[in-house]
Amino acid sequence: MSVLRKRLFAVFLAITFLFCLFIGRFFYIQVVWEDELHSLALDQWTREIPVVAERGRIFDRNGELLAGNATAYSVYARANAVSDADRTARFLSAALGVSYDEIYAKLTDRTKSEITIVRGAEKSLVQKIEGANLNGVYYARDNERVYPYGNLACQTIGFTSFDKTGTTGVEGYYEKYLAGKNGEILFETDLVGVDLEDSTVRYIPATAGMDVRLTLDYRIQAIAEDAMARVMESSLAKAAQCIVLDPSNGEILAMVNLPSYDLNEIPRDDLSTLNALTRNSIVCDIYEPGSTFKIITAAADLEEWLRGNGAAFSDRYVFSSARTRTVDGTTIKCWSDHANGKHSNQTLAEALNNSCNPCFVDIALALGTETFYSYLKAFRFGSATGIDFAGESVGMLLPESTVRDCDLARIGFGQTIAVSPLQLACAVAAAVNGGNYYAPRLLSEVADSDGAVVLRTQPILAGKTVSEEASRLLSEMLEGVVRDGSGKKAYIEGYRVAGKTGTAQKYENGQIAQGKYVSSFVGYFPADAPRYLCLVVVDEPQGSYYGSTVAAPCAGEIFNGMIGLKKIQPFI
């Protein structure tokens, strides 16, 4: 090939390469980059006023509104379209109560196409602005979140951020349903953002969020909150929690965390206060349960006895009347001095009545680590319950491989283990409802803006814990605790209430905190077919601190309120 031909061929290849490059670039701009360029052009030649989607509402199980919306307005401005920044800033400052300097700085900042002057303005203010005929200033309808019951179930419902996005609680967890899709109104403008005469207006409608119906009953919630507020005030307690659920399906009927706050007046300026008051301690925090945990130990023992495990104790076995047990050199005492025959000749039912620690030490050691831990795992200690709520704690359970006999002994009566109130309530429900562990639920159903149900939840059976026979025997014993034992102050004449008290010492920096206790009671009714279970936890009550004198009466008050509310007739 001659030199000339080679040069012509090289030129041809270069031209072909440039042509392909041009075609590729053209394809990229016309096809790949089309949407982005179209958006940029639209932004340059249009002014957008947002059409804010109405956020879905939150209702309780009865259809009572817990979170809704009120009409408000947002005021916007486009700096390029503002003809007199000084006059406009002065007018808006006087009308809206916003700093002149702040508004003027926004109106003269031409690096941003759209700026927000204020959110949540009342209609009268917007009408005043509209009458002033201010070039470059616009407004759009907004939605202000409103909570009709203020602090009722505040930590459970949660709240939204300034941009109306769900932040905590149900508002945050079910954001995907509650949040709608915003629309907008588009006006044609020139390059600097000034409206064109006879321009075409394009309207893109917003899509409203879906409504959420919860399993909560606002009436039961109110009864529980009132009772917990009274016990907290009378005992000068640091905090108090209560959860009410249906053991037959896992539906949560009430969740109380005190102290509380008003959802309409969120303390956003004080982060430490905000975090403390908005935390759902029932789900997110843990504590050492003490004697209420003996329900789980008794359930495991009864099930193993029914299975023929010779190490387990029967319902007629008589425990040693000795006041102490020594394990790995550690002496464990009963709260009673066992004088004058107290706590002698105790069966399992009587050990529950008397809340005698040594008996439950005997059970835990007899079952052994492997067997006892198999029940702890079946009751989901050390695991999440599966509740539809963010931030759930899994509690603290020693790894099985590290457990010593002295640890196992203490776990048997509710020490050396930490649980969330939710975990304990769900575990007790699974011990007394026939042995069925239902995942706790807050969501009942989701409906669209027309009221059509698009999602309805069903009970979630997460596993079996014990047999129906073991559950029946246990429930009979716990009914005796309320009738004859430490839970007497939760007794209601004519109603088969069962339960167990608990009084646990608190620890600080690994040491027992002198004079600091957690008083609790977990109870349910009717004992033979549980429908309502209530766990009451009172943190650091002053004066009397026993679960029998602080928490049990509070639970009885809540049960009485529910009986009156539901018009439940006596069972016996």
Tell me which residues are annotated as active site: 291
Distance of alpha carbon 388 from alpha carbon 470, whole angstroms? 30
The SS3 of residue 396 is strand
| CA separation for the pair 194, 325 (Å, rounded) | 87
Spatial distance between the Cα atoms of 112 and 288, rounded to a whole number of angstroms: 55
Q: Are 538 and 257 in contact (CB under 8 A)?
A: no
Q: How crowded is residue 449: how many other Cβ atoms within 10 Å of its Cβ?
A: 15
Identify the H or E element spanning 91. helix 85-96
Count of CB atoms situated within 10 Å of the CB of 537: 32
Backbone angles phi, psi at 151, to 5 degrees: -95, 5
Residue whose C-alpha is closest to residue 229's, from 258, 262, 261: 258
- Say if strands 201-204 and 498-508 run parallel, antiparallel, or are unpaired: unpaired
In sequence order, the 6+-apart residues with CB closer than 8 A to the CB of 163 are none
CA distance 441 to 463: 15
Alpha-carbon Rg for the chain, nearest whole angstrom, is 33
* CA–CA separation, 537 and 241 (whole Å): 5
Residue 496 class from Cβ within 10 Å (0-12 exposed, 13-18 middle, 19+ buried)? buried
Distance, in Å, from the CA atom of 104 to the CA atom of 115, rounded to the nearest integer, reads 12
- Which single residue is written with the structure tokens 């000068």? 236
